Amino acid sequence: MAANENVQQVLDQTVAQLGIPGIVAEVRDGDRTWFGTAGVADLETRAPRRPGEYFHAGSSGKAFTAAVMLSLEAEGLVSLDDTVNAHLPGVLDVNGYAGDKINIRHLLSNTSGLFATGIAPEVSHRYATRAGFAEHRFDRFTLDELLRVAVSQPPVGAPGERFEYSNGGFYIAGAIIEKVTGNSYAEEVDRRVVRPLGLTHTRVRPDEETGLPEPHARGYSTLFFKDGADPSTITPANWESLMEEPGLPPLDVTEYNSSLGYSAGNVVSTTGDMIRFFQAMTTGSLLPPAQHRELWTTVSTEGGYWMPHSRYGLGMFELDQRATGGVTLRGVGGSVWGSYCFVVGTPDGRHAVAVHTNTEWKSWDPMFQIIEAEFGVTVSG
């Protein structure tokens, strides 16, 4: 049980040192299970965190999108080599993009050349400050709006040239799923992922829904820019310097409209279900062998303003073996206002840890420290 004691120590330190309201970790290691918590689910009532809480899984939803698209490829309805124009003619033929050169694989691997959608002024001006979030928290984004946002800034590179984390590529992938199937994105996730895996506590959040099922922790955010920050000047390189000063009280963001996430991340789940999803995606039990190989054909994330020591597949990541001493560990994760989660485990799926905090990503350190405590590896550059 030494690993559990070490993980618990990291949970306690994370709450004490980073100002995270509450954190949970669920471990599956063969027949062994463990659940640990630190902090609280509600800053007012001081209620503790507990097993089975629902949360918004953020960009973990990208892996669900990849799973659906690979399922469609296995049925012969699409190919990852299909260009965007083959399914959505003209959608990408604006602002320097070329829909006949960007393919589905580019979209799902964040190598399309699309810019980092999250810093688009059309988005950031609504949520960049506390006042903006309060005013726009229940805004609903339509698919047409999301597709326009995806190409609202020029390319950051040629298709396949480099990694750049972009929600826009997954918006386009979601639109292709809907075009090919004639069904909604949520329906296809349910039919091809949720039901086959028995994820009874997982679903794409409906556009009209603004809260979470019970039980859930309250979500708190300090992910805001300083008053007066100009969204048009924000870049992946400077955004951290524009963040508001630390020490301000967190804003309760539990209720908001998350349609901005769409197919780039709008899944509600639990730690238990996320472990089951991870196990299926890392072992290949959901997808045929050819599609499973494509899922785990990875690219370097170096220079892409994303997680260090990692390589990116299709919606999921693998830690760089040069940083883990040769140990292979895979994962999925995401962050959004008031919620951050990740699952990391071994390729055979037998050993995995799922973690959730009821605030957004603060630092990569707790993630790597939990990995080191649970798997006995040192993650270093």
Q: CATH number for the domain including 362?
A: 3.40.710.10
Tell whether 245 is covered by a domain.
yes
pLDDT, mean of residues 144-171:
96
| Mean pLDDT score of the chain | 94
Instruction: Check whether 110 has a pLDDT greater than 70.
Output: yes
Tell whether 275 is covered by a domain.
yes
pLDDT, mean of residues 126-140:
91
3-class DSSP string for 144-190: HHHHHHHCCCCCCCCCCCCCCCCHHHHHHHHHHHHHHHCCCHHHHHH
Least confident span in 13-22, 117-126, 218-227: 117-126
Extract the tokens encoding 171. Answer: 């918006």
pLDDT computed for residue 228 by the predictor: 73
Reported confidence tier of residue 381, pLDDT bands at 50, 70, 90: low
Tell whether 41 is covered by a domain.
yes
Tell whether 380 is covered by a domain.
no
CA 18 to chain centroid, in Å, comes to: 21
pLDDT computed for residue 127 by the predictor: 86
pLDDT computed for residue 115 by the predictor: 94
DSSP state of 312: E
Q: Cβ distance 358 to 219 under 8 Å? A: yes
How would you label 72-97 residue by residue, b for 16+ Cβ within 10 Å and e otherwise? bbbeeebebebbbbebbeebbeeeeb
Reported confidence tier of residue 3, pLDDT bands at 50, 70, 90: low
Instruction: Check whether 229 has a pLDDT greater than 80.
Output: no
pLDDT computed for residue 2 by the predictor: 60
Summarised one tens digit per residue, pLDDT across range 304-319 is 779 999 999 999 999 9
Least confident span in 15-19, 86-90, 260-264, 376-380: 376-380
Tell whether 381 is covered by a domain.
no
How many separate domains does the chain show? 1
Tell whether 116 is covered by a domain.
yes
Instruction: Check whether 238 has a pLDDT greater than 90.
Output: no
Instruction: Check whether 217 has a pLDDT greater than 80.
Output: yes
Tell whether 167 is covered by a domain.
yes
Tell whether 320 is covered by a domain.
yes
pLDDT computed for residue 303 by the predictor: 81
| Residue-range definition of the domain harbouring residue 177 | 2-375
